[in-house]
Chain A
Amino acid sequence: PHFIIRLPRSNMDVCFNIDSKPGHILNLVSDIGTGVVVNGQLISSKKVHKDKLKTYFGVVSVYYQPEGFSVTVSTDRITTTDGRRSNVFTWGSTAEITHDGVTVSIVKNAQATITINNRIQVTVLLHRVWKKHPVNVDFLGVYLSNSNQYSPLVHGLIGQFSQEPEVRVYGVHEGADPLKKEATMEVKGNKLLVTRGWQKDYTWDRKHGSNVYCWFIHNSGKGFIDGHYSDYIVPDLDSFLQLP
């Protein structure tokens, strides 16, 4: 999957890809302060295409620990669980589900938005592809609002950027690909070679998406994210990130 991080103070977007293995669960937000965790499990395309087995989010889980309540969104269904009881909703429904402080709004065959205490909102978009497509599979997109009110203890592949890092980009120059400029980015004490490019944001146009121009970080976000991407692989859909 690709990640786009909006950095409002620097007025720029930063992107990176993470190509882990199908089945791996990546922690996106882990906030032990509010008790919220957002994890995404990877699925792969049907076969290798251009020497690459693409991975996407096939399952996204939002767990709210204080209520022991989780919402698991897959490309087939949306499941809510409060420990003993689970309820399954199809993507064919438009529904609003309320469980104590958690609201799940499902828009038929389009998106599911999970709102926790009106403070944290996670939107999951369903991307359906042609069932008989030789390579592509249905996948999910996850959108986390910049206005989410996490605690200072928040972390995770996306959560760590709730505290916007200082970023400086300089030395913009022509790259190997004449259409893609290159530059140097200074962030978190690292100097990274970054490439100007774009990624798709499907928030407004779920079918075609809109291009977001961003500075692309190579090597699975190495240097931009804290540690290595593999540090964000967690064992279960409701696992919090174990900080060293």
Chain B
Amino acid sequence: ATLTSEEQEDFGAITGQDITVKSYKVESRITSRFAHVTVRSSVVNSGTKAQSIAFNVQIPKRAFISNFTMNVNGITFVGSVKEKTLARKLYARARSRNHAAGIVRTNSQDLEVFKTEVHVPPGSNIEFELHYQEMMERKLGFYEHSLYLQPGRLVPHFQVDVYIYEQNGIASVETSNTFGTQFAELIKVTSTKDKAHVVFKPSVQQQRECANCTNSAIDGELTVKYDVTRDSTSGELQVSDSYFFYFLAPSNLSPFPKNIVFVIDVSGSMWGVKMKQTVEAMRAILDDLTVEDQFGIIDFNHNVRCWNEDLVPGSSLHTTSAKSYIESIKPNGGTNINEALMRAVQMLMRAFNQDLINSRSISMIILVSDGDPTVGEIKLSVIQKNIKRAMREEFSLFSVGIGFDVDYDFLERIAMENRGMAQRIYANHDAAEQLRTFYHQVSSPLLSKIAVRFSDESVTNVTQSQFDKYFSGSELVVAGRVLPSESSSLSGYTSASSANMDLILEMDADIHKLDEELAKQQHSFTGFAKQMWAYLTIKQLIGERSLAPTAAKKRKITQRIISLSLDHQFVTPLTALLVTNDDDPTEMLLADSPMDPKHGCCSALPATSRVTFPPRPPGGMVYATPPSRPHWLLPATQPPTPSQVKKGEVDETLVTTNGVTRVDED
């Protein structure tokens, strides 16, 4: 991951010569695709002056922080998850007494950066400990667990452990890293039928950038890629701690033929690398089409053009012609998303009405855009409604947002609302490869109209159990609670359609077996089931919340998310982590989840929010003073100026009007 210049500066601060990182340990425990990650760092101010020590951890965006503790010279700050407004209120109160400082979470592409900084006198010992949890998502046949390692300097005790336990067995485990090929052989993998352990423990000498360097070469990503053994097409049903999980990931089924309309933004902002990479990706995507597939291409700026008015088969003749067309496009002008999407729907409708679409095929629109609408209908809510109204149940919309100038939330919303998925593509990365990868994820639909059922008497609190499509290499997950019963097994059914048949799959599980196995495992993630169920439920509710049709419904969902987040100690978009000093609860730090950068909250955050610890007085009192107040912590009586809001200098979630704090537009 690339750091922003601001992060670079901050990173520079912690690599000063008078700071010793005594140990840096990362431990992941993955059980049934659910990971609990702990990052621990022990640091000493070994200089002669007081100075700032920062703790930065990059965590995947889909992860939820579950705890953070900090110990400074024996004084412990303990984290607890609170409802966001309450946390902010408590924090504001502490801040008014100069007893608070911020922990900042910032966005960085697929990652969020959790960062805190303490100002400590010489000789101080600081221990940081961050916990987060995440569900491994299967993509293109693998679960990928990435750990972002930035110890900042050479560390005498540096260790990464990843423990994986999968009840059904581990089919393969492989590792990769971005620090350098010399580290490949230092990453040791041991695995048995159902367990794997990855350990990376380089010595100080091995951490060096070169033989005599004092810099650490470890600055990047360690990735563990694995897949599980699947001996049943029906999927895997697991029960632990009265929660059940059903994983469905069949392979060896023929994919549905596809009817795809590619809708490509060719407005002025696409000019240059973005367009070049889009063309490059489209070349490969078009090559993947078969004669059974049908496709169309619509390119749009302020005008909308169709390469061909109707869908055509994916023969080499047509794909070659389509490639030439795309290669000749010169981006310019505005962005008329609404009309482009309407034309795409019409193209599919026409094919449908003329009976040119195989009843067992999948119809999809893939929208590639890098910016907000500027021409035609520009109101996002109206576009959203128009699309929903125009789309048939049989069609789905997939959105690809290139770069940060696009309202990704909007693209995600319209995709989710229309049975599709969204993906952000980072223009500064290999965009063509990212686009191709996304296409591969959605280009092989194996099942459609999937419904997972259990008897009402056996389960409750079931997460999403109906899915529009299942794509090759991915996985559908359903979770819920098992109701008490005499039975020692749980069974369920899945119905679905494939490209040439209808299926009913039956699955069953012994409700005690997994817990018996877990009890024998030393490194499994204890209590994973409860957390995993909550994680899935919260993620689902967050999705539902953004699509809630009424304010009342939204409020209800909000309450449910908050309640679950508090019960399960997750920092979600509606909760915050309040870190308080055991000895003096008024001393506190606050970690909120960041918003999408398009909303302007995070890239401008100062790196100076920090806790200052003066030399420990004889009486043992230590207090925290924020030397400079983070500007997102504006007092409620001081509303931001319109220009601040416009420039995105103020977190929209904290915009205050007449002393009333508006939270997440609820």
> Does residue A166 face the partner (Cβ distance < 8 Å to B)?
no
Chain B residue nearest to A85 in the complex (CB):
B254
Knowing A87-B253, A87-B254, A90-B233 touch, does A95 contact B499 (C-beta < 8 A)? no
- Tell yes or no: A108 within 8 A of B by CB: yes
Known contacts A88-B252, A90-B231, A108-B232: A95-B505 contact under CB 8 Å: yes
Contacts of B663 in A (CB 8 A): none
Please determine whether B505 and A87 come into contact, CB atoms closer than 8 angstroms. Answer: no
Contact A93 B234 (CB under 8 A): yes
Interface residues of A in 73-101 (CB under 8 A from B): 80, 82, 84-90, 92-99
Mark interface residues in A217-243 (1 if CB within 8 Å of B CB, else 0): 000000000000000000000000000
B504 interface residue per 8 A CB criterion: yes
Q: How many residues of B contact A (CB 8 A)?
A: 21
- Are B503 and A95 interface neighbours, CB within 8 A? yes
Indicate whether B506 reaches chain A with its CB closer than 8 angstroms. yes
Tell whether, in the assembled complex, residue A99 and residue B232 are in contact, meaning their CB atoms are under 8 Å apart: no
Contact at A99–B233, with CB atoms within 8 Å? no
Would B501 and A95 count as touching, CB distance under 8 A? no
- B502 located at the interface, meaning its Cβ lies under 8 Å from any Cβ of chain A in the complex: yes
- Please, which residues of chain B bring their CB within 8 A of the CB of A99? 500-502
Residue of A nearest to B491 (CB): A94
Contacts of A84 in B (CB 8 A): 254, 292
Cβ-defined contact, A87 with B498, below 8 A: yes
Residues of A within 8 A of B233 (CB): 88-90, 92-93, 95
Closest to B505 in A: A95
Contacts A85-B254, A87-B252, A87-B253 known; A97 to B502 CB distance under 8 Å? yes
Closest A residue to B501 using CB positions: A99
Q: Which residues of B contact A80 (CB under 8 A)?
A: 501
Residues in chain A near residue B252, CB distance under 8 A = 87-89
Are A95 and B502 touching (Cβ within 8 A)? no
Min C-beta distance of B657 to chain A, whole Å: 58
Q: Give min CB distance, A106 to chain B, whole Å.
A: 9
Alpha-carbon distance between A108 and B235 when the two chains are bound, in angstroms:
12
Would B234 and A97 count as touching, CB distance under 8 A? no
B499 contact set on A, CB distance < 8 A: 85
CB within 8 A of A87: which of B292, B500, B507?
Answer: B500
A115 nearest CB across to chain B (Å): 14
**Given contacts A95-B233, A108-B232, is CB(A88)–CB(B501) below 8 Å?**
no
Residue count of chain A within 8 Å CB distance of chain B: 18
Q: Please pick, from B230, B498, B500, B505, the residue contacting A94 in the complex, using a CB distance under 8 A.
A: B505
How far does the alpha carbon of A153 sit from the alpha carbon of B261 in the complex, in Å?
A: 50
Report B84 CB to chain A, min CB distance, Å: 45
Residue among B232, B501, B507 with most chain A CB within 10 A: B501
Contact of A98 among B292, B502, B505 (CB under 8 A): B502
Task: Given A85-B254, A95-B505, A95-B506, verify A90-B500 contact (CB < 8 Å).
Answer: no
A90 to B233, CA, bound (A): 6
Bound CA span A85–B233, Å: 17
Near A by CB (< 8 A), chain B positions 64-79 give none
Contact between A95 and B504, CB atoms less than 8 A apart: yes
A92 to B254, CA, bound (A): 19
Contact residues in A for B234 (Cβ distance below 8 Å): 92-95, 108
Contact of B505 among A85, A86, A88, A93 (CB under 8 A): A93
* Distance from A99 Cβ to chain B, minimum over Cβ atoms (Å): 4
Residues of chain B contacted by A108 (CB below 8 angstroms):
232, 234, 506
Interface Cβ pair total, 8 Å cutoff: 60
Q: Give the distance in Å from the alpha carbon of A97 to the alpha carbon of B499 in the complex.
A: 12
Q: In whole Å, how far is B233's beta carbon from the nearest beta carbon of chain A?
A: 4
Distance to closest chain A CB from B193 (angstroms): 15
Q: Please indicate the chain B residues that have their CB under 8 angstroms from the CB of A97 in the complex.
A: 501-504
**Contact of A85 with B500 at beta-carbon distance under 8 Å, contacts A94-B505, A94-B506, A95-B506 already known:** yes
Question: For window 489-537 of chain B, which residues contact chain A by CB distance below 8 Å?
Answer: 498-508
Contact A93 B254 (CB under 8 A): no
- Tell me what chain A mostly uses at the interface: helix, strand, loop, or mixed: strand
- Beyond A94-B506, A95-B506, is A87–B501 a contact (Cβ under 8 Å)? yes
Residues of chain A within 8 A of B503, CB atoms compared:
95-98
Question: Of residues 237 to 260 in B, which have CB atoms within 8 Å of A's CB atoms?
Answer: 251-254
Contacts of B231 in A (CB 8 A): 90, 92
Cα of A88 to Cα of B30 in the assembled complex, Å: 30
Is the CB–CB distance between A96 and B504 below 8 Å? yes
Q: Which of A184-198 touch B at CB < 8 Å?
A: none
CA distance A94 to B233 in the complex (A): 8
Residue in A closest to B251 when the chains form the complex, CB atoms: A88
A62 to B191, alpha carbons, bound, how many Å?
41
User: Are B253 and A93 in contact (CB-based, < 8 A)?
Assistant: no
What CA separation (Å) do A90 and B499 show in the bound complex?
A: 18
- Which chain B residues border A86 with CB–CB below 8 Å? 254
Chain A, Cβ-Cβ closest to B499: A85
Q: A95 vs B508: C-alpha distance in the bound complex, in angstroms? A: 12
| Chain A, range 85-130, C-beta contacts under 8 Å to B | 85-90, 92-99, 108
A93-B233, A108-B232 known; A82-B500 Cβ under 8 A: yes
- Find chain B residues with CB under 8 A from A93 CB: 232-234, 505-506
Measured in the bound complex, the distance between the Cα atoms of B507 and A108 in whole Å is 9
Q: Could you give, for residues 137-178 of chain A, a 1 whenever the CB lies within 8 Å of some chain B CB and a 0 otherwise?
A: 000000000000000000000000000000000000000000
Residue with the greatest number of chain A CB neighbours at <10 A, chosen from B231, B292, B503, B508: B503
Closest chain B CB from A83 CB (angstroms): 9
- How many angstroms from the CA of A108 to the CA of B505 in the assembled complex? 10
Chain B residues with CB under 8 Å of A87's CB are 252-254, 498, 500-501
* Complex-state Cα separation, A84 to B256, whole angstroms: 12
B169 CB → nearest A CB, Å: 12
Residue of A nearest to B256 (CB): A85
Q: In the assembled complex, which residues on chain B have CB atoms less than 8 Å from the CB atom of A82?
A: 500
Interface centre among A90, A95, A97, A99 (most CB of B within 10 A): A95
Cα A29 to Cα B502 with chains together (Å): 27
A97 to B494, CA, bound (A): 12
A108 to B232, CA, bound (A): 9
Q: How far is the CA of A90 from the CA of B502 in the complex (A)?
A: 17
Enumerate chain B residues within 8 angstroms of A89, measured Cβ to Cβ.
233, 252
B500 touches A92 (CB 8 A): no
A99 to B501, CA, bound (A): 5
Of chain A, the residue at the smallest CB distance from B231 is: A92
Which chain B residues lie closer than 8 Å to A98 at the CB level?
Answer: 501-503
Query: Which residues 398-413 of B have a CB within 8 angstroms of A?
Result: none
| B251 → chain A closest CB, angstroms | 8
A96 to B232, CA, bound (A): 13
Question: In the complex the two chains form, what is the Cα distance from A82 to B500 in whole Å?
Answer: 8
List residues of A (11-44) whose CB comes within 8 Å of B's CBs.
Answer: none
Q: Which of A85, A92, A97 is the most central at the interface, judged by chain B CB atoms within 10 Å of its CB?
A: A85
CB pair B501–A92 under 8 Å, yes or no, is no
CA distance A98 to B253 in the complex (A): 14
Task: Write out the residue numbers on chain B whose beta carbons fall within 8 Å of the beta carbon of A92.
Answer: 231-234
Within B285-306, which residues are at the interface with A (CB < 8 Å)? 292
Across the interface, do B506 and A88 meet the contact criterion of CB distance under 8 Å?
Answer: no
Shortest CB distance A72–B (Å):
13
Kindly provide the distance from the CB of A182 to the nearest chain B CB, expressed in whole angstroms: 48
- Considering only residues 182-236 of chain B, those with a C-beta below 8 Å from chain A are 230-234
Q: How far is the CB of A154 from chain B (nearest CB, A)?
A: 26
Residue ranges of B at the interface with A (Cβ–Cβ < 8 Å)? 230-234, 251-254, 292, 498-508
Q: List 23 A-B contacts (CB under 8 A).
A: A80-B501, A84-B254, A85-B254, A86-B254, A87-B254, A87-B500, A89-B233, A90-B230, A94-B505, A94-B506, A94-B507, A95-B233, A95-B504, A95-B505, A95-B506, A96-B506, A97-B501, A97-B502, A97-B503, A97-B504, A98-B501, A98-B503, A108-B506
Residues in A lying within 8 Å of B, measured CB to CB: 80, 82, 84-90, 92-99, 108
Pick the 4 closest A-B CB pairs, nearest first: A88-B252, A85-B254, A92-B232, A92-B231
Extra contacts, 17 of them, besides A88-B233, A94-B506, A97-B503 (Cβ < 8 A), are: A87-B252, A87-B253, A87-B501, A88-B251, A89-B252, A92-B234, A93-B232, A93-B234, A94-B234, A95-B234, A95-B503, A95-B504, A97-B502, A97-B504, A98-B502, A99-B500, A99-B501
